[in-house]
Amino acid sequence: MEILGYITLTIFIAAMLLMLFRKLNFPVQTVLIAVSLICLVVGAVFRSFTEGWVGVILLPNEMIGGIILHPITALLAGLFLSGALTASGGFGALKILINKLRKTPIGLAGTLVILIQLPVIASLPCGRIIGAALLPLLFAFGFEGGMGLLTRAQLIVLIGSFARNAFGSCGPSPIGGVGQIGEGFLGAFFPTASEGILRAPQAFSLMLGTAITALFLKFISMKLYPKDVSLRDLPEGGMEKKRESEVRGSFRGYLSLMIFLASLLISIFQPFGKMPVQTVLVAGGILVIILCRITIRDMMGGIILLPVSAMAAGFLAAGALAATGGFNALGNILKGFSNIPFLGIAGMLAIFVQIQTILPLSCSRILTAALVPVLYLFGPAKFDLITWPQLAIVMAAYMINATTSCGPSPLGGAGMMAEGTMRAETGYIKGAFTFSSMAVMAPLAAIYMKFLTLSSFPASGLQFERNVWMIIGFTVIIFAANAIMIKLTNIFLSGNVNRDWWYQLLGFVIPGAIGGAILAFCLYETAFLPIIQGTIGGIIAALLIGLMVPKRLGPTETVE
Amino acid sequence: MADQDKDQKDKTEKKRQRDDSAQPVVLPGIHRYQFFSNLKDRALTKNLNRLMMFGIITTLGVDIIKPLFRGLTQTIYCYECRACYATQDNCPVGIPFQAELVVASRVSDYRRFINNGGLKCVRCGNCTSFCVQYIELQEVFGQMQTITMDAIRKGKVPKGVLVRAMEEGLVGRDFIADVADVLGKRT
């Protein structure tokens, strides 16, 4: 059975890499389903020898078990409500409100910053809900969307950073977020962990990671892939014309907007008792149908099937891997890393926390559910490689990395919605998203957990003030180091695809090393060897992440 | 140097063009790289993509309809957030991964259900209070226990799974006699 796991894991990773490097140019769903079927056939052959026919016929059920219905239904509900808003003129009304808001002291920049951070404020259990509902609105800020308030470059940064924030916001969500998987495990030692031990570190690092994403998109992605976004820029003098053209809001629009906001608030605060977010959103959609007199067809128009089917295909591939022991093999490989002298436990953990950024799947829940139990077993519960507080620190870093991994996933990840909205080729945001997860979010979450959350959970909060200053210090260092790195890489980019890619890789490796060292410091404080091991682990993880950032995005067929 | 850069840029520009007509025709209407490319008008892959899409929709359908027919409707609402793992010591029989049991119940995955201790659950309901969706977990597990035992009696569960469950104490006292009986008959 163990060898079967290694075989199916190899098949899956090979298919992913081939797809990533465009050697397998089929739609993502086709490849993933094909991989699932191959894994299933290989699994069936193995099982026919070990367990006979009885074992074989159980395989399809085990594969279907990989499907997580919640993100699929959440996305559908988000799209459903977004369709209703579009049809009833809700987005028009929102445009008018935003126009008014930008004339207030917070201005356009302040309004946009609030919009970008809205997902982490709302913290819904799946970022796709708010993403599906608000991405069309963000598009409207550009020339093609009608408002003409932002240039093409500004719109790319706005959409990208909003998406970064949204597709990680499932982590700190207290109503079924992914972070709760880790909190459940930490409850074995921290009695109140399930009340949100991981929430603050995740939200904090996500906020700052969003800012780094914006910088990366502006200074690196736009220069690396200058022609891979087909958004049109404002024509000469067009901005003024656009601004002048008055958008008129209707009563129906305002009403639907109010229903939408009420639905979001009810989803977040659950004032009528616990209920699924999907139920609230669909009920909101039905209210819009009745009160704003739109048809169901209008509403269905908002549903985009591709992200749904790609996500489902991703789940099936993960299900096939789980059924054939692929994830167990991955866990074994990771644990084996700790026996390598130059990596040790610190280096292995530095790689472990980045594993979902290295291997981004369509929904972070897939790998998180498989790997968090492995991480838990590294602690005092079984292998005793790390203590409980150390486990909490690694969990915080791992979890933010995991929850943000659906963003850069080319296998039906949520980020594809953002790429679609900015009319970009698949993979455009991968560099920015993976960089911010790896270099900023993971180390920041670890720092926050070590110096603030852990000191307020057990009764040892004596050094509170000193710890807050430590967090501020580290935050400034991490942010400044990465911003400088981005700016430096930007200076070196020259338009030569191959050379630029190497510069970018170097730009990944150095922050990766810093991230690994910071994680090791959080775990072992000033012990020299673990910091070196953490640095090496960070470099390996960064290399793997950086290598997967596409060189070019467009088609590579040569014209003879 | 500047000329070289310009040449390189021109080359890249050329590479980027999606020019179908420049490709040699291998069959009437089909250009060579259409077999491998992501162009809209693929000939061979079109039906393959349709088939895969059909597969996805069917599986999603099965995933939802199956629990409906088996009386396990509540499992559809599970977020799989694993908040129930916080049950920890409150579970009298020490089941660590409750969410795994919910997913196993939804898809009738007997192996997953047994391996995660589903057959030793005493249906006390302590884990229910941790569920963010208020799923009546004890009801779900009870129903799935009945279904699993039925499958065991019909010989639908591999013998190895049952032997391992017995060895590791994963079968509760309510079912231990039945499972031992089935194993006895199979040997």
- Give the closest residue to A560 by CA, choosing from B13, B24, B6, B37: B24
CA distance A439 to A514: 8
Under the banding of pLDDT at 50, 70 and 90, the label for residue A514 is: very high
| pLDDT at position A216 | 93
pLDDT of residue A533: 93
State pLDDT tens for residues A376-423. Answer: 888 888 888 899 999 999 999 999 999 999 888 877 788 888 888 888
Q: Does some domain include residue B55? A: no
Q: By the 8 A CB rule, do A514 and A439 touch?
A: yes
| Residue B45 covered by a domain | no
Contact (CB<8Å) A181/B158: no
Position A21: which residue type? F
Instruction: Report whether pLDDT(A265) > 90.
Output: no
pLDDT at position B116, please?
A: 92
Residue A276 in contact with partner chain B when CB distance is under 8 A: yes
Give CA–CA dist A491/A485, Å, rounded: 10
- Is B90 a domain residue? yes
Q: Is the pLDDT of residue A191 over 80?
A: no
- Pair of tokens at residue B186: 């199979």
**Cα torsion through A14, A15, A16, A19, rounded to 10:** 120
Rounded to the nearest 5°, which phi and psi values hold at A363? -145, 135
Q: Could you tell me the two tokens for B3?
A: 């000329």
- Give a yes or no: residue B51 inside a domain: no
**H or E segment to which residue A217 belongs:** none
Interface test with A, best of B85, B113, B161, B183 (most A CBs within 10 A): B85
Average pLDDT over residues A310-334: 85
Is B144 part of any domain?
A: yes
**What are the DSSP E strand ranges found in chain B?**
25-27, 30-31
Query: Percent of chain A, pLDDT > 90?
Result: 23
Secondary structure (DSSP) of A374-406: HHHHHTTTTT-SS-HHHHHHHHHHHHHHHHTTT
Nearest to A187 among B23, B76, B86 (CB): B86
Confidence of residue B187 (pLDDT cuts 50, 70, 90): low
Q: What is the mean pLDDT of residues A207-216?
A: 93
Distance CA A121, CA A130 (A): 11
Q: Which residues of A touch B8 (CB under 8 A)?
A: 496
**Contact (Cβ atoms closer than 8 angstroms) between residue B158 and residue A55:** yes
Helix, strand or coil, per DSSP, at residue A324: coil
- B13 within domain boundaries: no
User: Closest to B52 (Cβ–Cβ): which among A30, A68, A494?
Assistant: A30
Q: What is the CATH number of the domain that holds B89?
A: 1.10.1060
User: In the numeric block, which tokens belong to residue A113?
Assistant: 């910053």
Contacts of B96 in chain A (CB under 8 A): 373
Length of chain B: 187
Q: Which of residues 61-100 of B touch A (CB under 8 A)?
A: 62-64, 76-86, 88, 96-97, 99
pLDDT at residue A164, as a whole number: 93
Look up the domain containing B126 and give its range. Answer: 67-176
Q: Which of A449, A303, A431 is nearest to A360 (CA)?
A: A431
B37 confidence band (pLDDT: 50, 70, 90): very low
Count of C-beta atoms within a 10 Å radius of residue A79: 28
Does residue B60 lie within any of the structural domains? no
Contact A29 B16 (CB under 8 A): no
CA distance B103 to chain A (A): 6
Quick check: is B81 in a domain? yes
Distance from CA of A142 to the nearest CA of B (A): 26
Number of domains in chain B: 1
Residue B43 has pLDDT above 60, yes or no: no
Least confident of A37-51, A157-171, A173-187: A173-187
Q: What is the DSSP letter of A267?
A: H
Distance CA A446, CA A353 (A): 10
pTM, to two decimals: 0.81
Around Cβ A463, how many Cβ atoms within 10 Å? 12
Place of tokens 């167990």: A328
Per the CB < 8 A criterion, the answer to whether A126 and A71 are in contact is yes
Task: Give the CB-side neighbour count of residue A510, counting CA atoms within 13 A.
Answer: 14
Q: Name the A residues in 42-71 with CB < 8 Å from any B CB.
A: 50-52, 54-55, 57-58, 61-62, 64-65, 67-70
d(CA A543, CA A235) in angstroms, rounded, equals 41
